[in-house]
Structure 1
Amino acid sequence: MCSPGPHVFLVVVKDGSHFTEKRRRALEEHMGLLGPRVWRHSLVVFTSLGWPRLNSDQEVLESEALGWLRNQCGQRCHLIDLSDGSRASELMEKIQRLVVANGNGVFEMEESVCSAIAEEKRRVEEDARARFLKMKTHRAFMRELARPLPDMRIVLLGAKGSGKTSSLNTILGWDQGRWSPGRTARCAVGQGVVFGRQLTVVDTPGWWMNFFGHETAAFDRHQIRLSPSLCAPGPHAFLLVVRPDRAFSETYRRAVQDHLELLGGDVWSRVMLLFSFGDWLGETAAERHVESEGEPLRWLAERCENRTHVLNNRTAGDGFQVRELLGKIEEMVAGCGVGHWRAVGEEEDQLEMTMRVEEARATERKMKMEQQRRDTRRHLDKSRRLPEVTLVLVGGSKTGKSSCGNTVLGRDCFRADRPTTSCVLGWARVDDQVVRVLDTPGGFSQTADFLKGAPSCAALVVVNASAAFTDLQGEALEAQLGGLWARAVVVFSHGDWLGDTGIEQRLESEGPALRGLVDKCGNRYHVLDNKRRGDGSQVRQLMAQVESMLVAESLVTAASSALPRHTTAKLCKSPSLMPNDHQLSNHCEYFELNSNIYESHPPHKLSTHCSELQ
């Protein structure tokens, strides 16, 4: 593109953006495609609009990732204001100095690498041409058999963020802002008349791209299975929405296969591969993208019998892309020989009945929780707040413990972009209360030791609301807590995943393992949306629940220590023997006398104690 080769590579980073470890690795991998010598010709350019965050090129960067990038580029960097183009001349001077330092030479790829790229390009073009001709021949035959469908029904399927809702808006001719831009948490139906056809389009919840079918939450799996019933008597087509701007790996392919086959193995005869973000492809044909992406996407295209379509959701244009899509669907229906896809009625009826039972249980659980929260507010109004609270984050890996800890403290104390390998203690003053949070590695085995150390120490059992919860996870948490359920609150991370659905409905759908966990914790649970850290109300509600729990647990412990053994067992099991108002008003005295963990393990010693337990 710039023969004989470029003199300089400008690595552009937006000033003030979060250049995370994940982005650093992505940059390293992409630059690595050009070979290690590329860094000798590279210069970092920080761009800003208006007043920059970085005051000078030599400012010490707090981010380890940015520090790594500067080192890779030999500390060559420049800050430029895009609003007025200031300092552009200085950038050109630095570029010229870099060129001179490299002996005025250009960057050249190794001959073997260039040959391999040329060979791969030739193969892709040949295979793409063959795929296109095969598809064109098949469509010509189907077009003669196709008949207009005055009433067309479509179901959209795909991973989270694939562009299903945007595609629905484009197909129906709606403005992109008509439906909420947030995640589709339950099936939604859109209808409209498009090119003389009455269209019914069903949007479905997406799944994580790297989650197999059994890893997706049961509620989301149920929604996928029920989606055909929302366009009775059945859909004519399933549009599998895939983003072309993301690499399509074998893991993603298997995830797609697992989730589509929730509808049955015969669903593939009705599936068309819909590439959203069509503007990303530009002039690249779908067939060429399929061939260049690799074997997983080629497998998927073959499974769909090469039925593909590209949709640019950024522009409606004259509607040609939608008209073409509807024509392809009519051709596919003609090839199936049957008007629409039919689900197994008995299975749908059974699933609908199960979900009605789960909804009734969810309503009952929610009412119980709301009553508990009213009692909590009443109890806390009659007592002084605890001056200090320590929260131990408990759970498996990749559940969102570190992110939840940061949300509670209102600042970045824990690294959420990498696995937690050792205990880390953070603290902050939250509403005039000192809150300490101990982040632990997944499956940390010494959790019970900390909970036994002081009455003002509680466990936050973090569960990923967007994922399935298995019996093994429940058993692992039980081993971690050592039976100290009276000091535990279940915290559901990924609260944004819930959308307009309640956590109770998902909790009941997930199965006995998760229901049992919440029940063991006395029906104490809370949802945290870590993307809304500025919303202090969700943290205040959690802390109120924790304080109420600690007060009740401490008074039961104090009372049981003064009673005979047989009475103690009765006291611990009976929910009616709760602290009275007089006990609540004096609970702080008990904590002041017994909360000596901070003397034996203050913040700096507590972190050392954690390391010794690894």
Structure 2
Amino acid sequence: MFIPIHYRLLVSIDAIQEGLHLSKTGTQSLPRAFSSFSIQHRKQHPHGQPWWSECKALGVFFKQYCVCLTGQSHHSPELRIVLISGRDINGICSNKSATGNIILGKNVFDTNRRTAQSVARQQEVHGRQVTVVDTPSWWWHYPRENTSKLDQIEIQNSIYLCPPGPHAFLLVIPFDSSFSEINKTSLQEHLKLLPEGVFDRTIVVFTAFTLCSDENVETDIRRSPVLQWILQQCRGRTHVLCSYTQDSTQVITLFKKIEAMVAEDGGSNFCVDAASGNALREEMNVLAKAASERCDAAQTQRRKLKALIEGGKTPPTHLKLVMVGAQWSAKSSAGNTILRKQEFDVHHKRRTRTTQYCEIRHSMVAGRPVTVVDSPGWLYNYTLQDTSEMDKLEIQNSINMCPPGPHAVLLVIGLTSAFNASYQRAVQEHMSLFKDNIWKHTIVLFTRGDWLGVKTVEERIESEKGLQWLVEKCGNRYHVLDNMNSRDERQVEELLQKIEEMLAGNNNLYYESDLHSEIKLKDMKETGEKMAQRIRQTTERQSRMLRELFKGERPPVTDMGIVLIGRKESGKSMAGNRIFLTEIFEKAWLKKEFQDERKNKKCVKHQEHLYGVNITVVEAPGWDKDTTPSEELITEVQQSVSMCAPGPHAFLLVVPISKAFTEKDYKAAVMLLMPLGERVWRHCMVLFTWGDWLTSRPIEEHIAREGKPLQLLVERCWNRYHVISCNRFTDPFPVIELLQKIYDMTARNKGQCFTTDGQQKKTQILPWSARKSLTEEEWNRREEELVDRMLKAIANEPEVPTFPSVRTAGSIDPAYLPNMSGDVPSNFGGASDLLRKNLHVSQWLNTGGGTSEATSGFGSIGHPVSHLEDLDE
């Protein structure tokens, strides 16, 4: 029998009236709440229910919902909460564990170390039985494939630690955090570890060290489209928790928000599949069993090797070790831990590359002499082909630093990220720089042992196929170092014991270096140094000659157009940001995993009035390595010319120092510029990015050793090049130096920008109005005068420059920049004078600033600061 709905509702009219009386704000979200209730009700009663019982349940729900909206509810007797969050690349703490302590009112979660295992803690708080589950964090700037399998399992297991399931997820984000599309992608991928619908039960909790108002939070959200997207997924639910206040109302308010959210979604907890939980626990048990078996096998192997030592196979008294591994794997810190003193520079605060040359250090450790050689690292997810020739040469040379060869090679692997397929490939290819028998003398040295927490290294090995392959390749030899606990002598003594045991099992005490290879590497280094000096001398002479030619011909600067061209991940966007001193171009970082995230195939243009100059920067799309630029990309490069109307003054060919520059890269650059004609090269300059990768090396050494393709590119650009680090936005001097070089290049081009109509056009940057009235005869006379001045300059040029070359990445070129040190005066004065007088860069350029003949400045480098994370600390 069909019963009209209004008759059903009459049954529970009392409950509904009471709810309406309590809710004076109306029922704006009531349809959604009823829908959620209906779905949950049907799940609980799949075979139907008497209509009067259904109506009564509906009335009770409506009463509870309205009560929650008005805040007049008697609170829920139990709340179950799961904390989730990422880790910031800049070391900004999310305060996730501290948030759990604030909620429970006690320090039940350890905030002094990373949470490596999901942990549930329970406490009675404000009349409620509250359960909080703390989970491992992931790196905000990494995709899920870079998160270790152990962490992924623990995140999945979190929802099963508070049966029958959590009421709410709290996404903990530090107040004033910077969020990009990469962070958004990372969050989406990691939330897929949990059942669908997590966002529907999530509240974004902003943590702050000081009291923070809702207006501050709203301002922070307005600045970040990604935060706006996250809040949209969470239906706008936010809360602010201050770490340094005893105000309990912030926790009570949070509880009320959770209860309202639960009531809105039908009053039940988050749905948890028991079968999935059982399968996950079985996976964890299998992993733990395999880890135990590996540990037993390693111990059995060690006992056999110790027996050989006791049988008379005496280990060497002086141990020589070579460390190889990826950049930011805590390699240098591990060397300091082994030597028990700070011998290798780690630059914790500067977050810059620390090892560019092989370095050898000695110390007495556990009563014996120990020698450690540190080598440059490679980017962990880059192939051998991606690594620059300079770094390959230094890595190979590490073996020759302690003749006749090292006793052990320590292959350093950081535990802060997963050993995924790209990491495994990088290790395998870079180890091929040595002979095949290198593996017999290799031990896997895991760093950042604190990252394991309560987990064992064997569990970590068994959880990742790549680590299993690596450890087996090294004969099941591995060791863990906790550089954060460097005072622990036992971890170093045990490592030395493992090395002695390995030597006892080998036929040769040391890995023999190849004498022929050593001689070849030495010759290559000497040849590279000579070529670098020749490049530097040529550049300096050309620079001084041109300055003499155009002395007194320096008209005012008002506009400057720049086009950035380079392959993907070359640092074009960061270079544009560096010029504007702000993040105006979208960055793709140096992470290969995210290279597909940025699918922009069109030129991007930005304009700013900076340094007293109207600057236009156009970024052309990049191309994939080892590929031929498409017709679409060639068309876009042509389009970039019209976007800098009447035409660009400079094409900056962006080349990252951290990566190899191949013949295919050179051909791609030539192919892109070919439709613009040969004269386009008169407006080209090579812009080297990631200057921090050089540290103290001169850029000319990199050009010389990288090979013919890069040398040809520099030559086609008339030996014009500049080096910048991409993220010191507050330091304008390297950018001013770059603009000066562009200005000089434009002066050489007679004040004309580049156009595609076959005619050079004079622009506002050099408006030489006086030239319009010159006759052809007068032009010829002026050119003869310039030639005479050029000949005089060459005649006065010494054979060998008497001044030193620029060798440090932190140096500033006095020929292009107002003097900062006072050693070499400029025509305008020092940079400090420039800032004190509040003068524009254009004024400095227009008065002939930077015309000192002390150096050419073409090889100068900006300050060495990189945005990459230094994971040593």
Report the TM-score when normalising by structure 1: 0.87
Cα deviation for residue 363 of structure 1 reads 2.1
Aligned with residue 384 of structure 2, among 183, 188, 213: 213
Supply the AA of the counterpart residue of 2:659. A
Separation in 2 of the partners of 1:522 and 1:448? 22
Structure 1 residue 350 corresponds to structure 2 residue 546: no
- Range 229-238 or range 140-149, more displaced: 140-149
Structure 1 residue 156 corresponds to structure 2 residue 323: yes
Structure 2: gaps of 5 or more residues: 1-160, 589-597, 624-632, 753-759, 762-770, 794-841, 843-873
1:100-499 residue pairs with structure 2 within 5 A? Answer: 100-146=263-309, 147-175=314-342, 179-181=346-348, 182-183=352-353, 184-292=355-463, 294-372=464-542, 379=550, 383-417=554-588, 418-443=598-623, 444-446=633-635, 447-448=637-638, 450-451=640-641, 454=646, 457-482=649-674, 483=678, 484-499=680-695
Aligned with residue 698 of structure 2, among 502, 506, 518: 502
CA contact under 8 A between 1:244 and 1:281: conserved in structure 2? yes
Supply the AA of the counterpart residue of 1:365. I
SS across alignment from 2:369: strand
Q: Which has the larger radius of gyration?
A: 2
Residue by residue, what CA displacement relative to the aligned partner does 1:136-186 show, whole Å, maximum 9, x if unpaired? 111100112233432111111111111101111111112499643431122
Residue by residue, what CA displacement relative to the aligned partner does 1:101-126 show, whole Å, maximum 9, x if unpaired? 34443334323422331222122112
Partner of 2:174: 14
SS across alignment from 2:319: strand
Aligned with residue 540 of structure 1, among 736, 739, 742: 736
Separation in 1 of the partners of 2:605 and 2:179? 24
Paired residue total:
573
Cα deviation for residue 8 of structure 1 reads 1.6
Supply the AA of the counterpart residue of 2:335. L
CA contact under 8 A between 1:286 and 1:308: conserved in structure 2? no
Supply the AA of the counterpart residue of 1:278. G
Separation in 2 of the partners of 1:75 and 1:217? 48
Residue by residue, what CA displacement relative to the aligned partner does 1:425-449 show, whole Å, maximum 9, x if unpaired? 1122232111110011014314356
CA contact under 8 A between 1:420 and 1:442: conserved in structure 2? no
SS across alignment from 1:145: helix
Distance 1:278 1:339, change over 3 A: same
Cα deviation for residue 563 of structure 1 reads 8.7
Supply the AA of the counterpart residue of 1:429. H
Structure 1 residue 550 corresponds to structure 2 residue 730: no
Residue by residue, what CA displacement relative to the aligned partner does 1:551-605 show, whole Å, maximum 9, x if unpaired? 112369799x9999xx9xxx9xx99997999xxxxxx9xxxxxxxxxxxxxxxxx
Cα deviation for residue 374 of structure 1 reads 5.3
Aligned with residue 82 of structure 1, among 222, 235, 243: 243
Separation in 2 of the partners of 1:258 and 1:168? 23
Distance 1:425 1:456, change over 3 A: closer
Distance 1:36 1:373, change over 3 A: farther
CA contact under 8 A between 1:362 and 1:504: conserved in structure 2? yes
CA contact under 8 A between 2:332 and 2:344: conserved in structure 1? no
Residue by residue, what CA displacement relative to the aligned partner does 1:348-376 show, whole Å, maximum 9, x if unpaired? 11111011110111122223334555567
CA contact under 8 A between 2:335 and 2:344: conserved in structure 1? no
Residue by residue, what CA displacement relative to the aligned partner does 1:378-405 show, whole Å, maximum 9, x if unpaired? 7577513321010000111111111101
Separation in 1 of the partners of 2:257 and 2:547? 63
Separation in 1 of the partners of 2:614 and 2:687? 20
Distance 1:398 1:375, change over 3 A: same
Supply the AA of the counterpart residue of 1:121. M
Structure 1: gaps of 5 or more residues: 582-587, 589-614
CA contact under 8 A between 1:419 and 1:441: conserved in structure 2? no
The percentage of counterpart residues that share the same residue type is: 32
CA contact under 8 A between 1:187 and 1:202: conserved in structure 2? yes
Partner of 1:92: 255
Cα deviation for residue 419 of structure 1 reads 4.8
Distance 1:490 1:420, change over 3 A: farther
Separation in 2 of the partners of 1:468 and 1:307? 32
Separation in 2 of the partners of 1:333 and 1:258? 25
Partner of 1:609: none
- Range 210-219 or range 89-98, more displaced: 89-98
Separation in 2 of the partners of 1:577 and 1:354? 40
Report the TM-score when normalising by structure 2: 0.62
Supply the AA of the counterpart residue of 1:55. E
Supply the AA of the counterpart residue of 1:36. E
SS across alignment from 1:262: coil
- Range 132-141 or range 46-55, more displaced: 46-55
Distance 1:269 1:177, change over 3 A: closer
Separation in 2 of the partners of 1:550 and 1:47? 51
Supply the AA of the counterpart residue of 2:478. T
Supply the AA of the counterpart residue of 2:228. G
Distance 1:368 1:385, change over 3 A: farther
1:19-38 residue pairs with structure 2 within 5 A? Answer: 19-38=179-198
Report which of the two has the higher share of helix: 1
Distance 1:69 1:577, change over 3 A: farther
SS across alignment from 1:428: strand
Partner of 2:205: 45
Residue by residue, what CA displacement relative to the aligned partner does 1:534-561 show, whole Å, maximum 9, x if unpaired? 22111111111111111112369799x9
CA contact under 8 A between 1:162 and 1:243: conserved in structure 2? yes
Separation in 1 of the partners of 2:406 and 2:775? 68
CA contact under 8 A between 1:402 and 1:415: conserved in structure 2? yes
Distance 1:551 1:141, change over 3 A: same
SS across alignment from 2:323: strand
SS across alignment from 2:738: helix
